[in-house]
Structure 1
Amino acid sequence: MRISTRNIYENATTQLNTLQSNMARTQNQLATNKRMLTAADDPIASARALEVTQSKSLNEQYATNRSNANSSLSLVEGALNNSGDLLMDVQTLVVQAGNGTLSKADRNMIATEIEARMDDLMGVANTSDGAGGYLFSGYRGTTIPFVQTDTGAAYQGDQGQRKLQVGSSRSIAISDSGSAIFENNRTGNGSYQTVMVDGNQGGAVGLSGSVSDASKLTGHNYKLEFKVAGTPAVTTYTVTDSSGTPAGPLPTDEPYVSGKQISFDGTSFSISGEPAHGDKFEVKPSQKESIFTTMTSLVKALRDSGDDTNGRATLSNKLITASESLKSSLDNVLTVRASVGSRMKELDYLDSSGADLGVQYEATLSKLQDLDIVKAISEYATQQTTLEAAQKSFKTMSSLSLFNYIG
């Protein structure tokens, strides 16, 4: 078989190009530390690496979301902490206002101080989220949550909780409704309340007490009315429900003893002091009341208070009512704050698991994509030696010619 000079050159060129291409590919692998330069290098591993890369990107986005959620919840927690401090200050002022030695002017000063605390609390309730919105307006993030009114404040937000996806199967609330925090406060003891009826003339003061038997609570409104008759005067009372039926098991005209527990239909409370004939108290189910309504009523009670027996008894009853509502408000704020704390704790756990997952993704991608450096260097050296040998052999072969031997 005859081999032409042209074939020799073409074959040699093809072989040298192939060797150089292989060597260049190995050099690119070493430069990038990647085993796969194109999907054709390992189609199955490339597809798997793409899936893992996408999962890794999602995990990183969840980590960013968790950081944002933690920042938002930190703002909420700080606002709730300030709210709790303000409510405790107001509770202290209520106790101070109950001091019988205070004058009208002293009570007016306390009322002014409570007004200042209410303004502070209003500012906390309208806290900005730092991004042009408000923390406590629900889904209506750009609407200011509370606007002051004559009776307290009007809530302009909604009941929504803004949520953020912080895991593949977990969304977490990063805000709380202002209504749930500042308006979801139960009056009285949380089940019912004992309140003085306006117009009483005596010095009786009522406490809501506690639930003696929850299974017997009826949810009815009751009226307790005092009667003072006879010589010497004997004070009795009768309790009737909203239908006018005497409350069991109390008989009518029950003798009144100051401070003694009065129990019926699962309720148990006490009234102390000296009531006048015809004085009344209501025992009715607890209702939700805005803390701003409570504080507004408290300020009005302090400024309208008198120094006679009836005036002081009226003030004492209203201070007790306000104190019970303030306690409920503080308990509610602490409950929401505990919920926020549990969400922040959950974010910490999710961060930990997310970091572990990120390490797993990196390890998987390393196995799929990373280059065996030692093997690649060895292969590169072999390719280099092969290429040099091919170049030298081609040079020798190309220099052979019959004309060199014709003399």
Structure 2
Amino acid sequence: MQISTSQLYDRSTSLMAKLSQKADRLQTEISTEKKLQAPSDDAVGYRQLAALKIGAANDTAYASNVGLAQSLLEQSDSALSSVETQLQRAQELVIQAGGATLSDDNRKVLAGQVRAILDDIVGVANSKDLRGQPLFGASSGDSAVSVASDGTVSFVGTGEPSAIPIGDGNSVQATDSAARLFGGIETAGGTTDMFALLSSFADSLDAGGSPTANTAAGDGLKAALAQVTQARGSVGARGARMDLEAQRLKDVGTTREITRQGIEDTDITAAITELQKTMTVLSATQASFTKLSSLSLFNYLS
């Protein structure tokens, strides 16, 4: 079979063009460290990359929310620890108030100490979180509790704070309302709150004190302390859950990155080796074509 001059030229130039294009592509992959430059390079791979990027963006937002929840839970635990300390101090004052040798002036001093504890707990209840919002606020309002001119403490707003999303269909209640933490204390006389309990105890001391008031205060403070301790346990459990969630997101991110690298990133060593092979073949092809086209007989082939 005869091969025409034009066919020989066409085949040679086509081969050299393909080799040049391959070399250019490999050089681009090496310089950019990305083996996918356009969807046409690998349509399936590009779709996978798009899905991976969406997943990474979502998980970045979720990881930020997990970090926020962890910070809020740590702040809550610290605040509740302070309340525990204050309630324990108040219990000590109940014991002191039962002393038979106390004078009315002594009891008034104790009453002042109880009111100082009350003020401290009100301050803790109205703590601001790292966002500048009420740490123990309800679903609305710019504070958790309010203090009237007569010293009466009331809860502001209703409901619980909004849950924080930490995953698809997954959320966490990072903080609790003041009403849940400081209210709903069961006593022999009914349900009360921590603030009313301490205020009533202080008033009884100012009035001279009584064994009945001391007993009621002691029982109420015991219930209040148990409630705060239980709340701290819940906060700790949620904190542990956030630690697990943070690690899960980290592991998922690592796996996703490995998958992305396999689809998108250039294997530099392999690409350099392939480029060297391609350049060798291209150089040999060019040399062969040059020699063949320079033969005098070549000009007479038809």
Cα offsets for 1:289-338 (capped at 9, x unmatched): 12111111111111112xxxxxx6xx110111111111111111111111
Corresponding residue of 2:48: 48
Cα RMSD for the two superposed structures: 2.5
Corresponding residue of 2:187: 187
Corresponding residue of 2:118: 118
Aligned residues: 295
AA paired with 2:144? P
Corresponding residue of 1:293: 196
Corresponding residue of 1:34: 34
For residue 354 of structure 1, the aligned residue among 249, 257, 273 is 249
Q: CA deviation at 1:171?
A: 0.4
TM superposition score normalised by structure 1:
0.66
Unaligned runs of 5+ in 2: none
CA contact (8 A) 1:159 1:180 kept: no
TM superposition score normalised by structure 2:
0.88
Corresponding residue of 1:148: 147
- Asked if 1:335 corresponds to 2:238, the answer is no
Q: How does 1:59-208 map to 2 (within 5 A)?
A: 59-140=59-140, 143-149=142-148, 150=150, 152-188=152-188, 193=189
AA paired with 1:332? Q
Corresponding residue of 1:392: 287
Q: CA deviation at 1:365?
A: 2.3
Corresponding residue of 2:218: 323
Q: CA deviation at 1:346?
A: 0.6
Secondary structure of the structure 2 residue equivalent to 1:389 = helix
Cα offsets for 1:34-65 (capped at 9, x unmatched): 33222212222322232233223322332221
- Quote the Cα distance in structure 1 between the aligned partners of 2:145 and 2:294: 97
- Quote the Cα distance in structure 2 between the aligned partners of 1:170 and 1:330: 31
Q: Name whichever structure is richer in helix by fraction.
A: 2
- Quote the Cα distance in structure 1 between the aligned partners of 2:86 and 2:10: 92
- Quote the Cα distance in structure 2 between the aligned partners of 1:41 and 1:377: 19
- Quote the Cα distance in structure 1 between the aligned partners of 2:159 and 2:60: 31
Q: Name whichever structure is richer in strand by fraction.
A: 1
Q: CA deviation at 1:187?
A: 1.4
CA contact (8 A) 1:184 1:332 kept: no
The structure, 1 or 2, with the larger RCO (C-alpha pairs under 8 Å, 6+ apart) is 2
Specify whether residues 2 and 108 from structure 1 end up closer, same or farther in structure 2 by C-alpha distance, changes over 3 A only: closer
Larger Rg computed on CA atoms: 1
Secondary structure of the structure 2 residue equivalent to 1:154 = strand
Secondary structure of the structure 1 residue equivalent to 2:166 = strand
AA paired with 1:292? F
Identity percentage of aligned residues: 29
Corresponding residue of 1:21: 21
Q: CA deviation at 1:384?
A: 0.6
AA paired with 1:148? V
- Quote the Cα distance in structure 1 between the aligned partners of 2:156 and 2:215: 30
